[in-house]
Amino acid sequence: MLSSAHRLIRFTITLCILVVAALVVVILWDYYTASPWTRNGQVRVQVANIAPRVSGQILDVRVKDNQFVHKGDVLYVIDPFDFKVALDTAKARVAERKADLEFRVVQAQWRKAIPGTAVSVEEKRQFEALSQQMQAQYDAAQAAERQAAINLERTEVRSSIDGIVTNLIMRPGDFATAGVVNIHIIDTSSYWVDGYFEETKVHDLDEGDLVRMDLMGYHDPLFGHVESITRGIATNNALVNKQGLPTIDPVYTWVRLAQRIPVRVKIDKIPDDLTLAAGMTATVTVVSEEGNRRHRSTHAAFQHFGDDIRHLFGHR
């Protein structure tokens, strides 16, 4: 009688342990496979690629690598000699065209004022047309002068944003080519985090969800909101050959890895003591309004576990 009771107690304890273990396994399974979080996060930033508008030799570099600059600050100076000469030439051309215009206008007015048939109508029209041509040439000379003045101003290459100069390798004596990027500035107001979530977790995400970001090497978490979810990623099977036909990979693996979908997270506030740099690693977790990790209910966890088991054996 006593031994039967002992066996019943052991059986009951064993059964309770198995039930608790099964419950823990299902919850952990859901925690690691379906809960909206990922360790694969990265800090991103916008970079302004600045190129000169005119070509020439660089005389002076006014900034250093990793220096903070404001919008409008001079970054470097291109040799202005040729552009000063061009401006002086344009000003001389304007003075010349102005004198020609005044002379042609006076001629046209004289002939127009002569009464009778001393001057034919055709001749009057001819001188009027010449004065109009000189007006057009004078306008073109003024436009060329303005362009020359702008080109001279552009020998001082300025920052287009507030930010930090990065990877500066130019030096005085280098040749700057118009339209060719030679200096980069990080926009310090544009930091965000890309969380690369598995496709099995994306359906639990919505724009505006509160997100916690834990940076590697920084103790305090950052908080932000889901700004957008990428709607497409590259695939090798989408490539085409020279004939325009799709290139399909004939290899099919039994182990199918979930694709990673980029989710853009806007950082609400960056602490003053944090040195944030693009490329930093972050753990991205969708949390509730209380700041706790969001998860499914026990019923939903069991349902998700059952769906994964059915998918594992090829059932839907």
Instruction: In whole angstroms, give the CA distance from residue 126 to residue 87.
Output: 33
| pLDDT score, position 126 | 72
Asked if residues 277 and 43 have their Cβ atoms less than 8 Å apart, the reply is yes
- Residue ranges and CATH numbers for the domains of the chain are 35-46+189-312 (2.40.30.170), 52-79+157-180 (2.40.50.100), 80-154 (1.10.287)
The model's pTM is 0.74
CA-wise closest residue to 38 among 191, 198, 192:
198
* Full pLDDT tens readout for the chain, 316 residues: 557 777 777 878 888 888 888 777 766 666 665 568 889 999 999 999 999 999 999 999 999 999 999 999 999 999 999 999 999 999 999 999 888 888 777 777 666 666 656 656 666 677 677 788 888 889 999 999 999 999 999 999 999 999 999 999 999 999 999 999 999 999 999 999 999 998 888 887 889 999 999 999 888 999 999 999 999 888 877 788 888 888 887 776 677 778 899 999 999 999 988 999 999 999 999 887 766 665 655 566 556 656 666 655 555 5
Both structure tokens of 32: 């690691």
Instruction: In whole angstroms, give the CA distance from residue 150 to residue 54.
Output: 10
CA-wise closest residue to 202 among 244, 264, 263:
263
